[in-house]
Amino acid sequence: MDARSPEAAHAPLAHAEIRVIVTGVMVAMFLSALDQTIIATALPTIGAQFGDLEGLSWVVTAYLLTGTAVTPLVGKLADIHGPRPVLMGAIALFLVGSVLCALAPGMNWLIIGRAVQGVGGGGLIALAQTIIGLLIAPRERGRYQGYFAIVFITSSIAGPILGGFFAEHLHWSLIFWINVPLGLVAAAMSYRALRRLPAHHHPHRLDILGAALMCAATVALLLALSWGGTHFRWLSLPILGLLTLSVLLWVGFGLRVATASEPLMPVSILANQVVRTGVPAAAFAMGTLVGLSIQMPLYLEGVMGLTASESGVALIPLMAGVVVGATGAGKVMGSVTHYKRLPLVGLVASMAALGVLAFWPLGLPVLVVGLAMGVTGIGLGTVLPVSTVAIQNAVPLPQMGTATGVVNLFRSLGGAVLTAGFGAIVIGMSGIEASALLERLLEGRAQVAPLADAFRWVFVAAAASLAVSLVAMIAMEERPLRSGHAPAPLPE
């Protein structure tokens, strides 16, 4: 219970107090951010050791899927009980999942461990964004972007390098064991820091049925994307059946949203024009980023002939570019009127860079590929803070956690679907059996033309995804950013 008087509890915190809270949140964010980047360069090695390349996409999508399902629930739990106990539970589940992954004797065990890890990890970023939304007015959030830039720059650079080094020279399980000491430090610092956070408790009901319907619909879609063209023909009965089942489950989810007393995604939030357009802009941008970050190590190792460590270094421009774009956009948007122009220019630049890679998927120097990935990352990065802050700016304070949860739900969903989709393109369009591709990675064979041709279409698909994000961002209403925590206007 907060010992402060009601007047003090609602008084704005000083910059020094906010900095203490932000520092504690940063450590928890680093735990989740590092896990997203450190695994990418180790995936080809993991697939080769377990003899299962097709299951690699599920190592990523299992994490994203459970994180997607739990994100809106975590947002509501934070609205009900406050963010501190929810964050502690998220860190605990993340550590349990990390240990299960590190001990995995096979691909199926690893996928299960990643699913458990995703339940915890899915809440870390969402809770951090909710806490910042409660603490800092939209117009003033750029002041604190530098702190988060430290987190993402460190994880973006250290993650791929550590993942490649562990996989090539030590053992891939270390990418999960390293989470244990980091998680304990994050829990200790966050618990102490969040005691200073003013109480913002609002009654909500948890829509478990809605979360189950959404999760089941996503699983059916991901299974169709994973099995189509590999285990079954795309027009075969099992694939068509899975797609039909996914459609029916999404219809059921829509009915649940329309009829439940307090659905997983409240109609009042979805009716907000900024939310309706900002969410797909963020989802397709984040989905493209996650899908590329998972598939690019396979491109760098399988097409360009780099080692796991070298691919970790080569992946840095993409991840660091995202940090540069997000940090720059976050700092600038609070001081300009037309903040939408930043992501519009960024998305066009990203699409142009992906077009270069699609036109020349084979034969480009590593430096040129790195430059194209850097431009792509910078453009993608501009979308993420602008969409999130614009959505938080458009909803009332009691819905802050729920709205942030909706944003992260669709961002995770976009990551899961596009990762599976890009993987299906690689396996299905390369014309290479998964076992042969594994042998190529292990033996360093130079026969790469079919794989390069498949990646041509991965880059085309990524550019098309960003085109959807661009259209949604153009349609998003550009409301003036609030300077305080006054209630946001109701949606028209």
Instruction: Please write the tens of the pLDDT for every residue from 344-393.
Output: 999 999 999 999 999 888 878 888 998 999 999 999 888 888 888 888 77
pTM above threshold 0.75: no
Q: How many residues does the chain have?
A: 492
Helix axes 449-475, 341-359, angle to 10 degrees: 160
**DSSP E strand stretches across 73-125:** none
For 327-355, the pLDDT digits (tens) are 788 778 767 778 888 899 999 999 999 99
Q: What is the dihedral of CA 275, 279, 281, 282, to 10 degrees?
A: 130
* pLDDT-derived band at 137, boundaries 50, 70, 90: low
Q: Residue 116 and residue 251: Cα distance in Å, rounded?
A: 27
Q: Residue 270 and residue 415: Cα distance in Å, rounded?
A: 20
* Nearest by Cα to 5 from 266, 199, 217: 199
- The chain-wide mean pLDDT, for the chain, equals 77
Q: Residue 146 and residue 385: Cα distance in Å, rounded?
A: 13
Question: Per the structure block, which two tokens stand in for 312?
Answer: 């970790």
275's CB contacts (< 8 A; 6+ apart) are: 269, 391, 394, 395, 403, 406, 491
Distance of CA 205 to the CA centre of its chain: 26
pLDDT at 177 over 50: yes
Rg over alpha carbons for the chain, rounded to the nearest Å, is 21
34's CB contacts (< 8 A; 6+ apart) are: 154, 155, 158, 159, 178, 179, 182
* Nearest by Cα to 224 from 197, 242, 246: 242
User: Taken in order 368, 47, 164, 120, is the CA torsion positive or negative?
Assistant: positive
Going by the DSSP 8-state scheme, the letter that residue 490 receives in this structure is P
Average pLDDT of the segment spanning 105-120: 86
Lowest mean pLDDT among 160-164, 431-435, 448-452: 431-435
